[in-house]
Amino acid sequence: MARRHHNGLKTVGLFAALWAVLLALGAVVAGMTRSPSYLWLFAGLGLVGTFVSYWRSDTIAVRAMHAFPVSEAEAPTLHRIVRELAQRARQPMPRLYVSPTATPNAFATGRNPRNAVVCCTTGILELLDERELRGVLAHELMHVYNRDILTSSVAAAMAGVLTSVAQFFLFFGGGRDRGGNPVAAIGMLLMALLAPIAATLIRLAISRTREFDADEDGAELSGDPLALADALRRIHDGVQARPLRPEGDLVNVAPMMIANPFRGGAVAHLFATHPPMSQRIARLEAMAMR
């Protein structure tokens, strides 16, 4: 199913911005330490982190949610819906997991369609009817088919490199300013503080724009935009009633979920991994009227 939001171009631009921040930080570090070795070190760590995040994204996510695989005998409706959608998309059947979590949510992960996982919480299975669940599962399958997992894994790993470099030199770089240049010291401090923020904003921008794509493409796959709109509305209310706590690996899994699983104030909304639910619902309702 074709995308209509030019996300390939957006992603290239966002990754270019990430590398620009990394190189700017590296230039400050190189000037302070008079050695480029640290930049190469953290770049290497970034490549390793990217590979691990991409190759083992399914394992990391299901462990964070304490999820377990379910057979067709254990979850016949779930298997039937996903099989029908996968056949309609002419794609492989993913493995299915269930997380014993009361918060209604779902996510997909895996390095490609042949090694994909779709996971639903017990909360969402209890909350939604079959029509709404079909809309949610179509959304998650389109994340896999659109190769969003690769993009989010690389973006998260690169953002982690920027954060690590900035924090390392924030605490240990000051003592290496042998020239005693206060301007250089201020520049390093600003980069150390701003690089993680820039990396986070870029990563969240990637996540947000791809949610719109998965909503639209998933609605096309299921043939029922209003089913996903109704599901998103009920999921949003359910998360507000039973939010997850932003702890440990759950913070890294949150961008994969169909809805932000955390509750927060204005600052939390600024760094939210998903577009406002009202915008997503409005777009789906408009799609149904075409």
List average pLDDT for each run of 10 residues in the chain, which is 290 residues long: 54 68 68 68 65 72 92 97 97 96 93 90 98 98 85 66 67 54 62 69 71 94 97 96 83 84 62 83 94
Give the separation between CA 184 and CA 178, rounded to whole angstroms. Answer: 11
> If phi over 0 gives left and psi between -120 and 50 gives alpha, with beta otherwise, what is residue 47?
alpha
DSSP-derived 3-state class of residue 274: coil
Report, in angstroms and rounded to the nearest whole number, the Rg of the chain calculated over CA atoms: 21
Task: Indicate the pTM of the whole model.
Answer: 0.78
Q: Which of 140, 216, 220, 247 is catalytic?
A: 140
Residue 140 appears among annotated catalytic residues = yes
Task: At 178, list the tokens.
Answer: 């042998």
Q: Three-state SS string across 47-92, please?
A: HHHHHHHHHCHHHHHHHHCCCEECCCCCCHHHHHHHHHHHHHHCCC
Q: Which residue has the tokens 């029509």?
A: 131
Cβ pair 210, 151 in contact under 8 A = yes
Select from 75, 66, 76, 73 the least CA-distant residue to 101.
66
Position 266 scores a pLDDT of: 47
pLDDT at 178 (0 to 100) = 47
Pairing between β-strand 68-69 and β-strand 95-99 as defined by DSSP bridges: antiparallel
